[in-house]
């Protein structure tokens, strides 16, 4: 708590949206010392005015709650989810979709100008219109449901966390999830609330559901605190009965447990995986490509928009009409981007640090009958590229961005084009600024040729970006 705990009520005008979905407002109270101060307010859209009460300051950011709206934005709509203001699953259901797309475009542009220090006009000239999604709901093919066990009621509650808490919101359904995942969640609540499964219920931390949207195959992962025996066959039967009633064609294919003791840190850590029922993978289709998905493999959470994203990458690879002879796919995961774009190059190398993902990538290449492809297990920044002379490089790092050593190696490789795929405009901007600063020390020069935001996550503040860097002659 900070110096504004008094709960002071002031007039404010919203001027933007933060990365977390808060309305970024300015205090408009000439007689107050806070006049002009920036505050973060829930449930406010750009252009709206109202009365807010200051609540707290954290890390030099002041927060407030909206008490009364004096003007309402023309872009405000009624959220479809009754728990929207409580649940932390999405942040923009109160904004029209056209407004969401504009905000995401502005976010990418603003980060590149403000954090990357690129000239605003240069960014505007390079940026293409954002590629929106056709389906704004029920698009998530992976859901991670936290589990809460009630000792008093001797039952489990499985759902999503309330905003800024670890308290589970009791909701009828999540409007972003694939409907089959919600069916599995409902089955799991009943299954683990049975008094005969108390030990399993107490050990359960998360229920993860992965959906093959196009293949109609489902995988469930039970994240557990300790080793317990879960009857995978009985759970699969219960799920298939419920899925059959829904008539959506989905079927349970694979069930796993991941044992994570209570003391284990969640971030960047792996537990003990056990396949307790069915197949070890599920399949998914992206146009004419088929991919096997293991329980710990990364796959884009929006299957249909993944095709839009990968088509844009392929377009950038073909932009000058000359196909790259050698394509380097860094942070390649299970090889989805490289394999999808394999018909836009002659030979492709993929680099990935997770061994199981590399195994999946090799299997995916064989499944799709792609021969001119090789995958290596290594951190991208540590890989010895030797005499490689790639014409094009694709980098799709995690949210934290690239390692500086990798950026230096990219300059040494000097491909004719680099395609940076990012799910975080802030780290994208930071990495591009570092890269352009590094190139000043040598003779190789790159310029930003194209930028295209892609909305992979409707109703949230998240946005994917594809940036094409072209080497100058």
Selection from 206, 81, 55 nearest residue 138 by Cα: 81
Supply the residues annotated as catalytic: 423
C-alpha span between 353 and 398 (Å, rounded) = 12
d(CA 181, CA 238): 14
* DSSP-based three-state secondary structure for 307: helix
Torsion of CA 238, 244, 246, 248, to 10 degrees: 120
CA distances from residue 93 to 43, 77, 129, 133, 171 in whole angstroms, order as listed: 10, 8, 21, 15, 16
Cα dihedral 416, 321, 307, 111 sign: positive
Assess contact for 465 and 425: CB atoms under 8 A. Answer: yes
Rounded distance between C-alpha atoms, residue 341 and residue 27, angstroms:
49
- Which residues have C-beta within 8 Å of that of residue 313, sequence separation ≥ 6? 337, 340, 341, 394, 419, 421, 466
Helix (H) or strand (E) holding 66: strand 61-71
Residues 6+ apart with CB under 8 A from 97: 132, 136, 458
Continuous segment of H or E residues that includes residue 265 = none
């Amino acid at each position: 708590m900070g110096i504004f705990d008094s709960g002071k009520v002031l007039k404010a005008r919203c001027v933007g949206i933060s990365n977390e979905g808060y309305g970024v407002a300015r205090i408009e109270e000439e007689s107050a010392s806070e006049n002009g101060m920036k505050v973060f307010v829930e449930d406010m859209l750009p252009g709206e005015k109202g009365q807010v009460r200051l609540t707290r300051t954290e890390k030099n950011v002041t927060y407030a709650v909206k008490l009364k709206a004096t003007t309402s934005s023309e872009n405000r709509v009624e959220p479809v989810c009754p728990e929207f203001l409580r649940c932390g699953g999405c942040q923009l259901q109160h904004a029209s979709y056209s407004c969401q797309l504009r905000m995401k475009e502005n976010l990418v542009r603003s980060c590149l100008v403000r954090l990357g220090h690129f000239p605003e006009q240069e960014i505007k000239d390079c940026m293409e219109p954002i590629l929106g999604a056709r389906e704004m709901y029920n698009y998530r093919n992976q859901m991670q449901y936290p589990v809460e066990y009630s000792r008093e009621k001797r039952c489990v509650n499985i759902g999503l966390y309330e905003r800024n808490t670890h308290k589970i919101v009791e909701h009828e359904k999540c409007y972003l999830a694939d409907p089959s995942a919600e069916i599995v969640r409902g089955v799991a609540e009943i299954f683990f609330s049975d008094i005969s499964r108390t030990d399993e219920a107490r050990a359960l931390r998360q229920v993860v559901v992965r959906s093959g949207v196009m293949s109609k195959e489902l995988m469930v992962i039970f994240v557990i605190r300790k080793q317990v025996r879960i009857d995978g066959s009985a759970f699969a039967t219960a799920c298939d009965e419920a899925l059959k009633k829904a008539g959506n064609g989905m079927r349970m294919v694979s069930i796993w447990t991941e044992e994570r003791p209570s003391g284990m840190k969640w971030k960047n850590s792996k537990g003990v995986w056990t396949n307790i029922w069915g197949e070890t993978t599920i399949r998914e289709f992206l146009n004419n490509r088929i991919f096997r998905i293991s329980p710990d493999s990364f796959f884009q959470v929006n299957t249909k928009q993944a095709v839009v994203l990968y088509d844009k990458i392929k377009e950038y690879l073909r932009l000058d009409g000359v196909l790259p002879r050698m394509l380097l796919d860094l942070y390649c995961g299970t090889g989805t981007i490289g394999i999808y774009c394999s018909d836009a190059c002659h030979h492709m190398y993929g680099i990935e640090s997770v061994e199981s993902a590399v195994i999946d990538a090799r299997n995916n290449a064989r499944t799709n009958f792609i021969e001119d492809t090789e995958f290596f297990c290594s951190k991208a920044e540590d890989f010895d590229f030797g005499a490689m002379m790639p014409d094009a490089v694709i980098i799709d790092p995690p949210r934290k961005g690239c390692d500086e050593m990798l950026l230096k190696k990219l300059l040494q490789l000097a491909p004719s084009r680099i395609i940076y795929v990012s799910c975080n405009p802030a780290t994208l901007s930071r990495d591009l600024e570092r890269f352009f600063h590094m190139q000043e020390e040598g003779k190789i020069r790159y310029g930003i040729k194209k930028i295209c935001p892609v909305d992979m996550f409707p109703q949230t503040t998240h946005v994917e970006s594809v940036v094409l860097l072209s080497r100058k002659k």
